[in-house]
Amino acid sequence: MRAFYAPLLVLALGSVAACADSPIRLPVSPTVIPNEMPAKPLAVVTKLSGKGMRYVVACKVKCDVLTFPDGVVAVDTKTGPRDWTGIFAGSTSGDYEDKHFPEPFLYALRPLSTGQVTVVVIPQGYKDRSEWVTFSLDVEAGEGPRPPPPDALTAAVQAANDADRSPTKAADKAAMVAVFTVLAGNMHAPEIKTAKNLFDFNKNTMAARLGGRLGGVGQVFAVDFGTVFPPNTKESYVLTQSDRDAAKAKLTAYAKVLGEVK
């Protein structure tokens, strides 16, 4: 095979082993028998089951992904690199997991109907048929695990966001995410010495950028941020390093939560 196509990877969540005579790697079972002599090759993942499961083909070059027959799986094209939460073929838990894909071209196979399908991965601009990757999957299109319910903060933010009818809501959300990022980066500023300094800095920065817009969402975050300190903490309370770290973690989490709200 030509070195140009060596970056092609076909993988699912779990361990991936290289074939002895090929730069192309396929997903394998994570089950390993330690100290086995002689070592046996691991089994390639060949099953895709449950509507929530994805079999991800991750490539460093752009590819065409063909499936035969039609109607057994769908192919969703994604861009990378990306962090992805999902149920992946090859997972040991069969439940939602976080996975990082560093490759720029991602092709996620998802079940449509029960049956067997042949998948052909063709690097664009290939020079020889030997550069293609072909594999078969046994597909079961049963109902997969349901997504985990949102935590209380996310649910409250989503409700407040849904209630906001402002025509500038999308832009305001982006602005609030940016403010949270700025605030998080300033939690160790020397001028923020006390609890009052901290709350005033947060309040004034948010007001200067948003002018009270998206107020319901902001109020949800304000109430939650009050839990950084114990009840009845005095305004003159001097912040410790731990307090600053906790405040930074809260604000960073707020940016992520708001960024994911629909």
Position 180 scores a pLDDT of 95
List the structure tokens of 169. Answer: 């809501």
The tens place of each residue's pLDDT in the chain, 262 residues long, gives 333 333 344 433 332 333 444 334 445 554 444 444 344 444 556 788 877 888 888 888 888 989 988 889 999 999 888 888 888 887 767 778 888 888 889 999 999 988 888 888 888 888 888 888 888 888 988 755 556 677 889 999 999 999 999 999 999 999 999 999 999 999 999 999 999 999 999 999 999 999 989 999 999 999 999 888 887 888 899 999 999 999 999 999 999 999 988 8
DSSP of 207-252: HHHHTTTTHHHHHHHHHHHGGGS-TT--TTPBPPHHHHHHHHHHHH
CB of 112 closer than 8 Å to CB of 71: yes
Position 1 scores a pLDDT of 36
Residues 6+ apart with CB under 8 A from 86: 52, 53, 54, 96, 97, 99
Position 18 scores a pLDDT of 32
Question: 250 to each of 19, 157, 228, how far by Cα in Å?
Answer: 45, 14, 8
Count Cβ atoms below 10 Å from residue 30 Cβ, excluding itself: 15
Query: What's the pTM value of the predicted model, to 2 decimals?
Result: 0.47
- Strands of 23-144 (E only): list them: 25-27, 47-49, 53-59, 63-68, 73-79, 82-88, 97-101, 105-111, 115-123, 133-140
Q: Per this entry, what is the length of the chain?
A: 262
